[in-house]
Amino acid sequence: MSRDSIVVQSMSDWDKVVSALSAKLRGKNLFLLEGNLGAGKTTLVGLIAKKLNIPMVASPTFSLISQHKNLIHVDLYRLESMEEIDATGFWEIFEDEDSMVFVEWSSKISDDLWPLDWDITKITINKISETEREVLIETVA
Ligand SMILES: Nc1ncnc2c1ncn2[C@@H]1O[C@H](COP(=O)(O)OP(=O)(O)OP(=O)(O)O)[C@@H](O)[C@H]1O
Ligand SMILES: [Mg+2]
- Model confidence pLDDT, tens digit, residues 81-99: 999 999 988 999 999 999 9
| 116-128 pLDDT per residue, tens | 999 999 999 999 9
Question: Which residue type is seen at 89?
Answer: G
Q: How many Å separate Cα 23 from the centre of its chain?
A: 15
Q: Can you give the pTM of this predicted structure?
A: 0.96
Closest by alpha carbon to 68, among 79, 85, 53?
53
pLDDT recorded at residue 137? 98
For residues 61 and 70, give the distance between their C-alpha atoms in angstroms, rounded to a whole number: 20
Name the residue of 10, 36, 43 whose CB sits within 8 Å of the most ligand 1 atoms, as the mutation to test its pocket.
43
- If you take atom 5 of ligand 1, which residue's CA is the nearest one? 40
Please, are residues 34 and 61 in contact by the beta-carbon 8 Å criterion? Answer: no
Q: Percent of the chain, pLDDT > 70? A: 96
Residue 62 has pLDDT above 80, yes or no: no
Residue 110 Cα to ligand 1 midpoint, Å, equals: 25
pLDDT tier at 40, thresholds 50, 70, 90 = very high
58 has a pLDDT exceeding 80: no
Measured CA distances, 34 to 37, 39, 54, 85, 98 (Å): 10, 9, 23, 18, 23
Q: How confident is the model at residue 80 (pLDDT cuts 50, 70, 90)?
A: very high
Domain boundaries, the chain: 3-139
pLDDT of residue 111: 94
For residue 141, the model assigns a pLDDT of: 85
For 41, phi then psi, to 5°, come to -65, -50
Mean pLDDT of 36-49: 97
By the 8 A CB rule, do 9 and 139 touch? no
**Residue 39 pLDDT more than 80?**
yes
Superfamily of domain 3-139: P-loop containing nucleotide triphosphate hydrolases (3.40.50.300)
How confident is the model at residue 17, as a pLDDT?
98
133 lines ligand 1 (CB under 6 A): yes
Q: In the chain, what's the furthest Cα-to-Cα distance?
A: 40
What 3-state class would DSSP assign to 19?
Answer: helix
Task: Report the DSSP pairing between strands 3-8 and 133-139.
Answer: antiparallel
